[in-house]
Structure 1
Amino acid sequence: MTEEKRYLTVTALTKYVARKFSADPHLTKLSVRGELSNITFHSSGHIYCTLKDQGAQIRAVMFARQAQHVKFRLEEGMQVLIEGSVQVFERMGQYQLYIEHIEPDGIGSLYLRFEQLKADLAKEGLFEQKWKLPLPAYPQKIAIVTAKTGAAIRDMYTTIQRRYPLVELTLYEALVQGENAAPSIVRAIERANEGEYDVLIVGRGGGSIEDLWAFNEERVARAIFESRIPVISAVGHETDTTIADYVADLRAPTPTAAAELAVPSRLELQERLKQTEWSLTQLLRHQLQQSKKRYEHIRQSYVFQQAERLYRPQIEHYLQVERALHQAMIQTVSMKRQKMIEVSHALSLQSPNNKLSEARHRHRYATERLQRTMTASQEQRQDRLLHQIRLMQTLNPLSILERGFSVTYEEGNVVTSASQIEVGDSLKIQLKDGSIEAIVNDVQKEDI
């Protein structure tokens, strides 16, 4: 009688194989180098991928609990170093790699994460110069986001008070190291933006890349970019540049340097004021000299050298009026005399004595009236003539010559502008008591 064969179920076989994998110490804790492909980020937070090299490939999974600690972004074709275990996925009857920790091959994870975030933000344009806010030359209120204790806040306070004691400083305390540092910095930046500040300094003292990592976080970078207050990044590590340095409006290598960039120097301002005072003094002296030169130029101009040329037309007009008045008087006397002769002749033709007497009486009355009329007319004309003479004396430029001015003539014409004169011209300069003949050696023209 043959023994009946015993068949295993698929489940039993798979469990047996799984126990074998679990019992092998080489498979429970191993390190593997390979290339990532077929990466899938599940909504649950799990990461599924394939790890391969030139000769083989294995499916791999990293659960959300481990995946949240990955400091860089997994990408297709990336060479990685993995720590984990190999176990059997019983339901599918296949073995796969369970990843506990992953690092980029040949480069640190923090550095890779830094480069990836830097590239992403640069692509969005957060580092572009057009978004940079200018810092005010003379700030009145400055907010500082950093730790409450430490050398950073002490150095910034000391430097600002020494350079520009007029400014008002406000500290917004924040954690600057550890897992909770990034959200703490973001909250402090947001609180500072609720106030009215001219400058916002965000930073800390020096340290390792791990110590400074909060300033490489994306949320800190976006908080700095969205700040309506100009931000100075003051992460105290001169040799390294953080993401905060790239997105800030101005980068300082140390907190002390940030304080120096935020405010002007009192001593420099005092020196600048002295220079400004000296410049203004020199400018006023120059303007005074120019005004004196202009005054001398005007004082020696043609109009003051030969002033009689200015009132000569009025004199000629006066003479014309005088001649016309004299002619009018002669004509009036002649007409009256002619009329008187005519009246006398008419009377002589009258024979009665009364008419003769009456005619004589009218003749005498007419003669007296004529004389009064002529006298009044002459007095009116004399009054107008005297008024014209007084007016001409008032306007007479010769009176100006008495005060040291003169009038310049060129070929008999009054010179009123430097543009009328050329070098070599012959000028006549009229003074109050004589005149001077001059040859022009230089002409200085000015815009008036």
Structure 2
Amino acid sequence: MSPSFSAHLEPTGDGPVAGILTVSEMTSLVKETLEEALPMCWVTGEMVDFSRAASGHCYLTLKDRNSQLPCVLFRFYAREMTFTPEPGMMVVAYGNISVYERGGRYQFLLYRLQPAGVGELALAFERLRSRLEEEGLFEAERKRALPAFPRAIGIVTSETGAAVRDIVEVVTRRAPGIQLVLRSARVQGQGAAGEISRAIDDLNRLGGLDILIVGRGGGSAEDLWAFNEEVVARAIYASEVPVVSAVGHEIDYTIADYVADVRAPTPSAAAEIVAPDRAVLAQGVQDRRRHLQVAMDNRLRHLGDQLGQVGIRRMAEALRDRLDQSSQDIDEGRRSLAAGLDGQLRTRAAALRTEALRLQGLSPLTGLARGFAFCEHEADGRPVHSGGDLRRGQRLRLRFGRGGALCRVEDVIRE
């Protein structure tokens, strides 16, 4: 027996045992000992029962040939399950051992629950997710609110995919004055994660952008895997511009979704989130105008009723004259306000047009539209700055305003 336990159980003379533990003290001591001795771990077994309480907590038991293990999955973590648990299903669970003190029984507290045999990708996803969560990359406190009226939005996706077409269509319909800047990147396959992270960095260096949309359309887990890479997660975390993730469909969750300031279920939904609907805003202005007009009419009617009750004609006429004067002052104020607002709107519109032209000039696509081409190494996507970067036989990729070409270096001209 360990000294810490025996110290409580030593008798003193003929009297009772000194330092006797209560049931609660013993249970707490067992709980602390188990939790300190056994670290977080993965456990696999057959699920023999599963129930979900009204509170949202889930209770289940895992078993193998020789033992059973009672488990609890609390509501917050149960919401993140992507499958329907059923008795008899082989599962893999991640958590730590603890003790339910009121019942005096040990149990496994679950943080993750998934079907067994989900493969290396899912396990890699869970390992990276757990590590980044411990580092604080997913904390809600660091997530930033999106600007209500953005002037320029950067997009990181493939220039040939459906996602960019959906985003452009929605933004153009809802808020045609917003400037869109595309930084194309591969969104699947070898090297895609590096291109996505570099594209995020490039748009941050470009400046003048209010929001970034990073994403792609739907696909298999392997197709979406670039958005589960650590390099993409850290690029989103380091972005000085708020990031909206828009990867796949509503049921698809990636590491990028957890790190981003806002998660959108689809690229189209991301465009709706960042672009305020011009028609809705106009209707809101009309509703407020009607509300003010009704309030003014009611107030004037109330004052008129009060004057009628007084019955003093001269006072009523004097007050009516004051009301007329006030009404005229209001008309003058309206005209002045309208003139001032009109001037401000024209100034703001001119500034927006100037800023839009500046952003358009900074966009790499502008140069391509004027007949220039962008040359990069096919192997790793590095840009070609001079003939000294080339050697005979190398394969290059040329990008034009529309489309591109692959070519091979026949000879190098050095200047």
TM range (shorter): 0.3 to 0.5
TM-score by length of 1: 0.43
TM-score, normalised relative to structure 2: 0.46
Q: Which has the larger radius of gyration?
A: 1
